[in-house]
Chains A and B, each alone.
Chain A
Amino acid sequence: MDTLKKTPLYDVHIALGGKMVDFGGWALPVQYSSILEEHKAVRERCGLFDVSHMGELWVSGEGAFPYLQYMLTNDITTMTPGRCRYSMVCYEDGGTVDDVLVYKYSDTDYLVVVNASNTEKDFEWFAAHAIPTVQVENKSAEYAQLALQGPKFMQVLEAAGVEGAIPEKNYTFVPETKVAGIPCIVSRTGYTGEDGVELYCAAKDGPALHAALMEAGKCVNMLPCGLGARDTLRFEASMPLYGHEMDANVTPMETGISFAVKLNKEDFIGKEALLAPAKRIRIGLKLIDRGIAREHADVYLGEKRVGHVTSGSPAPTLGGNYAMALVDLEDSEAPVYEIEVRGRRLKAEKTAMPFYKRAK
């Protein structure tokens, strides 16, 4: 564990009995108690995640708006201060650099939150394309980030004590609110398919904020949750994960997130390539035969290999085993496929995504 990067909450994870693993160079808990219990807590009550490994890039200056319009696939014209927008960042060939969340402070000030595994790469990419009227800064080390997710998250916040506003609408944020006396950026965002918030505070305040939320969380039997549950939750909600459903060789159109790509925008990196029709598409599958299909497993239609599994796992809330797969577009409309697992072909039926959608 000594050569791995530590978030500000490393000691907290150890104290809570977290089962630590190497997650892309970071020491983080895969679970504290049980992945299934932690998953269930988020769906039914509330869960608390340390996501401090995520990256925070600040884009500021007179040219910030046109610069980001060019760097991002999504259109940020209609963003007002206090809004968050999901977007892709692409290479010239349409492959994906990363998927990001953009927080607008003003036309000249944006926070771009990026995947932990891509922070350095994204920063270099953004910096390499910077124009004189834009400043790009990597402030990842300055922040701790916690995700408080689940239908009862508001009760936990109230029990912890809030001074200021909590964003009401999904994909909005408040630049500063005090939670348990600690100043935080609070956004109504998350990666679990449940309602909730993400809290950004100064790195040094991370442990105190976590402790206050753990105490407040007792009122709803909240659980601290690790990477294992984070993955089963996002997977069950069919949310894409960089390195699985998209990467440098998979375009956002193939990932099936064209809503985050505005091809009618004047220009952006990758636009030319993304105008061409996609040749592959992400589909959802539910296993019919007994067994679990996992990442990289080959997907067949009869004798023809038509694609591969990008993520596969049990779906703890729905029951059963599911998979997301990238398949050739021309073979993407079949009702049943077969997935090869340890030499056997398991039948799986094509299933609409998201697999799980929370009740309104």
Chain B
Amino acid sequence: MTPNDRKYTKEHEWLLIEGNVAKIGITDHAQDALGDIVYVELPAVGDAVEAGASFAVVESVKAASEIYCAVSGKVVEINEALDGAPEEINNDPYGAFIAAVEFETLEGIELLTAEEYEAFVAEEN
């Protein structure tokens, strides 16, 4: 079940928003498509990020995948546990965030609800 407490993007990221900070991770659909995740390249705390730009990389056995930040702002937290245990994203995609971004605004950012995301995934297949 796709959690209702957060927003989603068409690049299969989720955003759990509290105030003006968004915790960002990837969806169950994404982790399943990637297969075993063996390495995560995290941004650094303090990094500036631009909406639509890649700000992290998740690597499976076979390939590297860019993770996009839907919002513009600054990285305020990273999930360092992923350094030693990248597979946590496979085990707990909605619990294992990648990074938290303090953002300026959500205006002009295309975010989907859980229902809209599920419909989008169904259509893609």
On A, residues with C-beta under 8 Å from B are: 19, 30-31, 34-36, 228, 231-232, 290-292, 294, 313-314, 316, 321, 342
Among residues of A, the one whose C-beta sits closest to the C-beta of B57 is: A342
Q: A314 near B38 (CB under 8 angstroms)?
A: yes
Query: What is the distance, in angstroms, from B54's C-beta to the closest C-beta of chain A?
Result: 10
For window 48-85 of chain B, which residues contact chain A by CB distance below 8 Å? 57, 59, 61-64, 83
Q: A34 near B35 (CB under 8 angstroms)?
A: yes
Pull 22 A–B residue pairs with CB atoms less than 8 Å apart, ordered by A: A30-B35, A30-B62, A31-B35, A34-B36, A35-B35, A35-B61, A35-B62, A36-B38, A36-B61, A228-B61, A231-B62, A290-B39, A290-B83, A292-B38, A292-B59, A292-B64, A294-B63, A294-B64, A313-B61, A314-B38, A314-B39, A342-B64
Q: Tell me if B41 is interfacial: C-beta within 8 Å of chain A.
A: yes
A36, B61: Cα distance in complex, Å: 8
Query: What is the distance, in angstroms, from A300's C-beta to the closest C-beta of chain B?
Result: 20
Contact with A232, one of B39, B57, B61, B63 (Cβ below 8 angstroms): B61
Query: What is the distance, in angstroms, from A35's C-beta to the closest C-beta of chain B?
Result: 5
Query: What is the distance, in angstroms, from B39's C-beta to the closest C-beta of chain A?
Result: 6
A30, B83: Cα distance in complex, Å: 26
Query: What is the distance, in angstroms, from B22's C-beta to the closest C-beta of chain A?
Result: 24
Among residues of A, the one whose C-beta sits closest to the C-beta of B87 is: A36
B83: which A residues are within 8 A, CB to CB? 290
A321, B38: Cα distance in complex, Å: 10
Query: What is the distance, in angstroms, from A16's C-beta to the closest C-beta of chain B?
Result: 16
A155, B43: Cα distance in complex, Å: 49
A111, B61: Cα distance in complex, Å: 34
A36: which B residues are within 8 A, CB to CB? 36, 38, 61
Query: What is the distance, in angstroms, from B53's C-beta to the closest C-beta of chain A?
Result: 14
Query: What is the distance, in angstroms, from B83's C-beta to the closest C-beta of chain A?
Result: 8
